Structure 1
Amino acid sequence: EGYGLSEAPTATHCNPVLGENREGSIGLPLPNVDCKIVDIETGERECSIGEAGELWVRGPQVMAGYHQRPEESANTLVGGWLRTGDVVRMDEDGYFYIVDRKKDVIKVGGFQVWPNEIEAVLFQHPKIREAAVAGITETDGSEVPKAWVVLREGQTATAEELTLFCDRFMTRYKIPRYFEFRESLPRTRVGKVLRCELVAEHYRSKT
């Protein structure tokens, strides 16, 4: 496995061909690639080992900027560093792991909650075939996790059942406040779940 993005056309990270390939890791930075993990709240402090933050990369493959989009370029490129928008963590041996997208973080009572973490727990439930999690804003302005779930054929489940299941694997504030059961999840042409569409549908249903 490796890692790259359109703003840095060639890969920036890769598991070594002749070295250890760690499951779930995007590997090590490639030669001539500098990288750092920066805290999400301030964008100024470098994170410690194991701490999740935004991945910044610098190298010859990083773009010069977006064509005719100077403001977006200025927000994405800071002092030669590319802010990837991906949240990662690094282990003690320098291997990197994707946590989630920065824009998808859910802020629950001052805590940062990652949808991928909740989804990983839901996928362990034997009745669940697909799941997606995103943050929604309550009428009082607070943000809470919501889960959209597709059950396996012939299975039934309740929100209470899934809440109790999640309670076995995560702290209370990470447990979805709401569960919505669906026949399918909206996806892009390449199969990526469209969390933004699920959130938009949620708000439309409230109007």
Structure 2
Amino acid sequence: MPPDRFAVLTDAAIDVLAEEGMRALTHRAVDRRAALPEGTTSAYFRTRKALIEAVVRRIADLDRLDLEAGQLPGDPRNPAPVLTDIGAMAATVARVLDRWMSEGRNRTLARYACLLEATHHPEIRTILAYGDASRAQATAMLAAAGAPEPRQAGSHLVACVDGLLFDRLAGAGARTAPPPGTEANRADLTVALTGVLRGLLGPPAGAPPT
């Protein structure tokens, strides 16, 4: 399949998922959203499961690009310096999260729709394993910063990040937090992430016991 056609169809499917929910995801709905002739989507993705798998791959690819563009410390694919200052690290992660709440909002909502679908259809759960990559990156970032248990800390950080995202997009945070895409939102996220990272990294070396 041509890469541009894959992107057009999966991006249209992401928008359908985000705006209308999993039940609305059909081949015809994607054709309409992409403004393509009826039958185009089914020609490339013969089954609904194949379409969902393609959506997950697209989400994973776009998330990875955002993470790389965010220059997260500890990522061996970019030259970002290791950050030992928790506030600077939190601000870096906050910028990525803010993007996932603003420009990437539909993608984030589509990701949650796919995750919920997997709870009812275990056969597609394996295609959602792309979350392992974000845990690996979080582990590398925290290991570089000196976390005593980086693998565990990385898993906990991803869980906290997912909680922040869900709260801001679908929970009470959607009503009370600053608007996504603003400096105020990034500052608020930085405060939350500073507390999380401080707990995961533990006290600085040589710090007196509390």
User: Shared fold by TM > 0.5?
Assistant: no
Which TM-score applies when normalising by structure 2? 0.23
Pick the structure with more helix per residue.
Answer: 2
Pick the structure with more strand per residue.
Answer: 1
Structure with more contact order per residue of length (Cα contacts < 8 Å, sep ≥ 6) = 2
